[in-house]
Amino acid sequence: MLHAPSSAITARQTDQDALALYIHWPFCIAKCPYCDFNSHVRDQVDYDSWQRALLADLVHEYQVSQNRRISSIFFGGGTPSLMDPRLVAKLIEEANNLWGLIDNCEITLEANPSSVEASRFSDLAHAGVNRVSLGLQSLDDQTLEFLGRAHDVKEGLAALETAQQNFERVSFDLIYARPDQSLYDWQSELGKALEFGTSHLSLYQLTIEPGTRFETLVRTGALVPADDDHCADLFELTQQLTSAAGLPAYEISNHAKPGQESRHNLSYWRYDDYIGIGPGAHGRRLNCATERHKKPENFLSAVERNGNGLKVEQALSPQTRAMEALMMGLRLAEGVDLKALERKTGLAVAEMVDKQEAEKLSTLGLVDSHTDRLTITSKGMPLLDAILPELIADTLRS
């Protein structure tokens, strides 16, 4: 069951103009067959060039959005745990020098659970990282091989133990709804995962993304994904087990003990301003959408040429901002504060939400729209992708 939001979730930053900062590190040792993220395999990485480029990109964003503070930093990828900890430290230091970090700023780094990367955890903690998101993905060796992961279960659990020794907060990812995975299999695996005592879990159903190796396998019939009904049963089981363990879902795929939600990702889902630097990074700030060049070499060339890695910087209409805010916010258990969205966009609720459809879905128990807050119910969450287009008013699509 998706629970009603706790006060820890709804409490907002005291610094109302704070920014979230996302830093993308695009390099991986290998490309996983399910991954459609902006990741690249390179034999060598020139850290001096990357430090200059990322710092220049950071300074550019500061020049655009001064007089604000940073509420969270998230190093994503790619595989950020491959970064030199000295570069991580330098970027955190520069963000603090430019904007200043709020008290207890959440600083997260995504990490692969290889022994090589786990050996850097102590240095990364000293660099300023206080939260790690570990890509375990499975607790079964055969499945890890199927997913193209470089680690096995023993190595992954050793990395998890090292992470828990070095960081204040630890989360890890698991992928479920895999081909031929039974309810019993997932119950056993998730039950074991919950015993490790982390305060946060990200539990994603396997999706077949365009352009991935898995998509090719599906297209040729070599891979048969789990069917929708079975996925729905697995999702329901996931909610039951995590809620019973005290880690209810606060977002469709993310579970946490109260007060341990990812503050960075909450900023993203709540449609607060966030800055994105590094190859392919997206941002939303000052009613503008930003996007950096994706290919690492193109990003470096753009920074050398222009002083930043921007490929796109586009003003967003109130209608686009409203649509994006609804698409992101309705993933959350807390839903969307419609009055706040009115103030943010200048649009009336009737211009953003199809009230007739909302009432119909409410009658079916899929949506709660009786207050100024629009929320997808626990019954409706498995149908989120189908519900969202129905709720958005036609005026936002034109």
3-state secondary structure 342-388: HHHHCCCHHHHECHHHHHHHHHCCCEECCCCEEEECCCCHHHHHHHH
CA dist 310 → 68, 87, 279 (Å):
21, 21, 9
Q: Is residue 140 part of a domain?
A: yes
The confidence score (pLDDT) of residue 8 equals 33
167: its two tokens: 């960081």
Q: What pLDDT, on the 0 to 100 scale, is given for residue 25?
A: 95
In a domain? residue 274:
no
Domain range enclosing 202? 7-269
Q: Is residue 37 domain-resident?
A: yes
**Same domain assignment for residues 49 and 182:** yes
Confidence of residue 44 (pLDDT cuts 50, 70, 90): confident
Q: Reply yes or no on whether the pLDDT at 77 is more than 70.
A: yes
> Contact at 8 Å (CB) between 113 and 137?
no
Average pLDDT over residues 200-204: 98
pLDDT in the model for residue 5: 35
So what's the pLDDT on residue 398?
Answer: 64
84 pLDDT more than 90: yes
Does residue 133 sit in the same domain as residue 246?
yes
The helix/strand/coil state of 48 is: helix
253 and 381 fall within a common domain: no
Residue 312 lies in a domain: no
Determine the pLDDT at residue 43. Answer: 82
Q: Are residues 162 and 238 in the same domain?
A: yes
Read off the CATH number of the domain in which 258 is found.
Answer: 3.20.20.70
How many folded domains does the chain comprise?
2
Q: Are residues 227 and 357 in the same domain?
A: no
User: Do residue 117 and residue 255 come from a single domain?
Assistant: yes
Q: How confident is the model at residue 16 (pLDDT cuts 50, 70, 90)?
A: low
Chain segment 280-329, per-residue pLDDT in tens = 999 999 999 999 999 999 999 999 999 999 999 999 999 999 999 999 99
Examine the domain organization and report whether 22 and 101 are in the same domain: yes
- Decide if 316 contacts 288 (C-beta within 8 A): yes
What pLDDT does 28 receive? 87
- Domain end, chosen from 269, 299, 326, is at 269
Q: Does 206 reside within a domain? A: yes
- For residue 309, being part of any structural domain is answered with no
- Residue pair 274/288 in contact (Cβ under 8 Å)? The answer is no
How far CA 374 is from CA of 56, 82, 331, 341, 391, in Å, comes to: 40, 41, 11, 11, 10
Q: Are residues 322 and 259 in the same domain?
A: no
pTM over 0.85: yes
CATH code at position 325:
1.10.10.920
Mean pLDDT, all residues of the chain = 92
Q: Is the CB of residue 91 less than 8 Å from the CB of residue 41?
A: no
Domain final residue pick, 269, 298, 329: 269
Residue 333 lies in a domain: yes
With tokens 């839903």, the residue in question is 335
Same domain for 242 and 328, yes or no, is no
Residues 37 and 146 in one domain: yes
Q: Same domain for 260 and 332?
A: no
Residue 277, in any domain of the structure = no
**Are 265 and 322 in the same domain?**
no
